[in-house]
Structure 1
Amino acid sequence: MKKSKASDVAILAIFIAIMVVIQILSQIIYSVWPLPIVPTLLHIPVIIGSIVLGARKGAFLGLVMGIISLVNATIVTLPSSFLFSPLQPLPGTNHGSMWALVVAIVPRVLVGLLPAYIYKLMPRRFGAGLAAFVGTATNTVLVLSFIFLFFRTVTHQTFGALLASIITGNSIAEVIIAVILTMAIVPALTKARQHA
């Protein structure tokens, strides 16, 4: 039992390290990226961690993802930074909004919870793919919906624009990448944990 807990903590630490590396590399690569599609990849370790380690540890990884997003938005000032950090002022003001914490954290915690339950209902490769789809869709739909709910007076976004932003090349690319990687990695990681 102790060995299993130590193993889970080690795996959790590895997932967090992978997330930090993905964030740093994404910043570097996307700064010179020539294509208009810029998929988010940070949710993939959260989804895989949720499936392999369970909902509680998945939710923790989701929280870490949210904190990474919050710290990044606080340090790197972009036109959208105020949506993810209360320390970035809303356009035309000198203060941020606490709703940014909800946008940055809540969807990401759910990205860590839902895939574990989806995978329990439908294990094996298909379950891993479905869990990846649900986790990715949760991130996209909730982040954009929360931005619409809490910041539409600032962004002047309409409901039609919200729907259009959910179904974009970015969203489709994120789903495809997440499903392929999750279906490839989860079986190998699950088997490795069983033999550890």
Structure 2
Amino acid sequence: MERGLRTARFNTRQMAIVGMLSAISIVLGVTGLGFIPIPPVKATIMHIPVIIGAILEGPVVGCMVGLIFGIFSIIQSITAPTPVSFVFLNPIVSVLPRVLIALTSYYTYKAIKTNFKVFNMSVAAAIGSLTNTCGVLGMIYLIYLGPYANTLHLSISAAKKGIATVALMNGIPEAIISTIITVAVVTAVNKIRHK
């Protein structure tokens, strides 16, 4: 009985964390606060709650936050469409990479066995961030390269270069920002937990 109560409490806490981190992700997207201008690009931080959830609470919590983030991407593509929003209507582009962020972050964090937790978190956060960038852009490249190029009035060759450029120009700043924020938040939460 006591064990069942402990499990229920643990699950309730996890659900609360999923709700809170998902809400943060959605607020970042709706308000535009999830985009940091680093000329000439805008780096997104909307995927950081997924990484934090995975490192702090494990892959299930991280995947649930990633799932909600992905579903929000679909909804946003319907309610505030851009010329290339059609690619995000496909869950393989909008949802799958966001769920994978949690898995790559968590398992990277667990696989690195150094005594320097900041280093472990940094690598996990960077890998999680790059999973988002490479996953979304990779799926666009594999599934929608032709329609994507046509919509933007580009040749296939120019579209390929454009996707690669976005991956580099956005991916690196996003990985750096993700690392800094994730390390700060996870370290602070762990300190509070150990008090």
TM-score bin (small chain): 0.7 to 0.9
Q: 1:17 to 1:41 in 2, by over 3 A?
A: same
Alignment of 1:147-158 (within 5 A): 147-156=140-149, 157-158=156-157
Q: Secondary structure at the match of 2:188?
A: helix
Q: Could you tell me the percent identity over the aligned residues?
A: 33
Alignment of 1:169-184 (within 5 A): 170-184=170-184
Give how far 1:194 is off.
4.8
Q: 1:180 to 1:187 in 2, by over 3 A?
A: same
Q: 1:78 aligns with which of 74, 77, 82?
A: 82
**Is structure 2 residue 68 aligned with structure 1 residue 64?**
yes
In 2, the alpha carbon distance for the partners of 1:48 and 1:38 equals: 21
Q: 2:50 aligns with which of 23, 46, 49?
A: 46
Alignment of 1:180-195 (within 5 A): 180-194=180-194
Q: Secondary structure at the match of 2:172?
A: helix
Asked if 1 retains the 8 angstrom alpha-carbon contact of 2:67 and 2:98, the reply is yes
Give how far 1:34 is off.
9.5
**Is structure 2 residue 29 aligned with structure 1 residue 23?**
yes
Q: 1:102 aligns with which of 77, 82, 92?
A: 92
Give how far 1:178 is off.
0.3
**Greater fraction strand:** 2
- Deviation readout 1:83-118 (Å, 9 max, x if unpaired): 102xxxxxxxxxxxxxx2210111011012111111
In 2, the alpha carbon distance for the partners of 1:54 and 1:84 equals: 26
Asked if 1 retains the 8 angstrom alpha-carbon contact of 2:125 and 2:175, the reply is yes
In 2, the alpha carbon distance for the partners of 1:28 and 1:136 equals: 14
TM-score, structure 2 as length reference: 0.82
In 2, the alpha carbon distance for the partners of 1:191 and 1:84 equals: 38
Runs in 1 of length 4+ with deviation above 6 angstroms? 27-30
Q: Secondary structure at the match of 2:100?
A: helix
TM-score, structure 1 as length reference: 0.82
Q: Which segments of 5 or more consecutive residues in structure 1 lack a partner in the other structure?
A: 86-99
User: How many correspondences in the alignment?
Assistant: 178
